[in-house]
């Protein structure tokens, strides 16, 4: 499974699994190291053996065992981890101590069902051999993704930026210092590069809807889309900012900006077109360079810039996700899990993560293809928001059942902006009415 799929699916899969946990769980007690001491850490991973991240972890496991005497008993479960984990959490004596997963998914599942152990104490622990605490080494925006109601339940070690604007820096070296910061500037750039200059795999709903989501959050501010999504009448979407964002998103199809095949291609045909310089721009995530590397044009230089603000004075949003560690409440090895979390955040391991993704540490370097992403993540003028402005975690199924089908049609030019708003208002009210 590609990085694209696992990041976009993580919240929904874990949220669905949470329903099962809720229905049949028993009280796990306080747990977390208050019981008998042990020298084992039972770890279930979202990765499969042989993936780059799992290779880094195996190296860390060996070093951790040598230094602490704690043996790591790992299960490389892969992407079906939520479904496999669910029945293991129904007992008052969990058989798993620690998992890794998308922090947003942890919030909508383990935290919601009270199966996640409080990791706040780890923040004050020293990263071995560095004289710095865990909290001091982590990017604040990354750390925030694993905190719910002020408590840390997921400790991130890897970040993804979901939807920035990517281009070939070798073909357009001037864009690095002159990137558009407003939508009008962006559309001017699109006009200069000609019709069909924006690549879009429009059959993948999140790829299409990201255009509108970013524009709507830019206009309404961080949390603006989330607040509207939680309005049971749907009328919050009648605010003028949401219509303005829809009108802007509709410009892409109206002006012929999208490359041929945008509404009917089979993934990854369109991003292949972009990687071969047949389209200049693509809205995509930090996983993109790794995905297209096998077929990219010779000399392709991956670069990106943050999504532009709808209007001057609006925010430039940057959707971020993190993958991190969580401990299971009531499990015997919670203390051992906490020790490993601090151990794995050593700069050496984070530098290795930086060769395949963006590390959660602020001082770890990244591979050349991700330097523009890391720079944007460190830019305080770019406002970091949760994926989909947090709707996936806070309102499970809303994106898939209410928002995505309509927003996809809007961006593809199949639904007029005013009709999009009116249908969204109606569909959202009907959806909440069915929830009871």
pLDDT, position 87: 82
pLDDT in tens, the chain (436 residues): 354 444 444 444 454 444 344 433 333 333 444 445 689 999 999 999 999 999 999 999 999 999 999 999 999 999 988 888 888 888 788 999 999 999 988 988 899 889 999 999 999 999 999 999 999 999 999 999 999 999 999 999 999 999 999 999 999 999 999 999 999 999 999 999 999 999 999 999 999 999 999 999 999 999 999 999 999 999 999 999 999 999 999 999 999 999 999 998 889 999 999 999 999 999 999 999 999 999 999 999 999 999 999 999 999 999 999 999 999 999 999 999 999 999 999 999 999 999 999 999 999 999 999 999 999 999 999 999 999 999 988 898 999 999 999 999 999 999 999 999 999 999 999 999 999 8
- Burial label for 38, CB within 10 Å (0-12, 13-18, 19+), is middle
Spatial separation of the C-alpha atoms in residues 15 and 22, rounded to whole Å: 11
Q: In residues, how long is the chain?
A: 436
Spatial separation of the C-alpha atoms in residues 196 and 363, rounded to whole Å: 39
**C-alpha angle 291-354-349 in degrees, rounded to nearest 5:** 130
Q: Please choose, from the candidates 377, 385, 328, the residue with its C-alpha nearest in 3D space to the C-alpha of residue 158.
A: 377
Domains of the chain are 3-161+320-375 (3.40.190.10), 164-319+391-435 (3.40.190.10)
For residue 253, which phi and psi values (nearest 5 degrees)? -70, -40
Please state whether 411 falls in left (phi above 0), alpha (psi between -120 and 50) or beta.
alpha
For residue 164, which phi and psi values (nearest 5 degrees)? -110, 170
């Amino acid at each position: 499974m590609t990085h694209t799929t696992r990041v976009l699916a993580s919240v929904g899969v874990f949220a669905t699994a949470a329903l099962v946990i809720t229905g049949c769980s028993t009280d796990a007690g306080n747990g977390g190291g208050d019981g008998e001491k042990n020298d084992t850490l039972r770890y279930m991973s979202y990765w499969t053996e042989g993936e780059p991240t799992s290779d880094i972890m195996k190296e860390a496991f060996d070093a951790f065992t040598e230094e602490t005497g704690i043996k790591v008993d790992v299960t490389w479960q892969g992407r079906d981890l939520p479904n496999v984990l669910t029945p293991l959490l129904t007992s008052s004596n969990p058989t798993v101590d620690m998992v890794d997963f998308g922090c947003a998914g942890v919030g909508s599942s383990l935290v919601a069902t009270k199966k996640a152990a409080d990791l706040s104490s780890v923040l004050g622990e020293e990263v071995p051999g560095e004289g710095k605490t865990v909290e001091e080494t982590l990017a604040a925006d990354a750390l925030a993704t694993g905190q719910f109601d002020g408590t840390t339940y997921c400790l991130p070690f890897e970040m993804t930026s979901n939807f920035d604007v990517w281009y070939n820096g070798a073909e357009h070296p001037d864009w690095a210092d002159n990137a558009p910061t407003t939508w009008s500037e962006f559309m001017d750039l699109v006009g200069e590069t000609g019709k069909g200059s924006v690549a879009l795999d429009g059959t993948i709903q999140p790829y299409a809807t990201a255009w509108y989501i970013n524009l709507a959050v830019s206009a309404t501010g961080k949390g603006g889309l989330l607040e509207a999504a939680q309005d049971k009448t749907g009328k919050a979407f009648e605010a003028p900012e949401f219509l303005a964002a829809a009108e802007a998103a509709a410009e892409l199809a109206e002006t012929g900006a999208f490359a041929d095949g945008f509404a009917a291609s089979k993934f990854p045909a369109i991003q292949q077109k972009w990687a071969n310089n047949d389209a200049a721009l693509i809205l995509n995530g930090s996983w993109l360079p790794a995905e297209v590397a096998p077929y990219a044009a010779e000399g392709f230089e991956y670069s990106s810039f943050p999504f532009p603000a709808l209007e001057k004075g609006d925010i430039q949003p940057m959707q971020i996700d993190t993958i991190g560690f969580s401990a299971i409440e009531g499990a015997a090895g919670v203390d051992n899990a906490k020790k490993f979390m601090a151990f794995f955040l050593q700069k050496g391991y984070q530098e290795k993560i930086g060769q395949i993704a963006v590390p959660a540490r602020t001082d770890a370097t990244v591979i050349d293809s991700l330097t523009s992403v890391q720079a944007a993540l460190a830019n305080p003028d770019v406002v970091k928001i949760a994926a989909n402005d947090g709707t996936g975690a806070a309102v499970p199924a809303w994106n898939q059942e209410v928002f995505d089908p309509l927003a996809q049609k809007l961006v593809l030019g199949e639904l007029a902006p005013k009709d999009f708003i009116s249908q969204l208002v109606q569909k959202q009210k009907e959806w909440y009415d069915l929830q009871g």
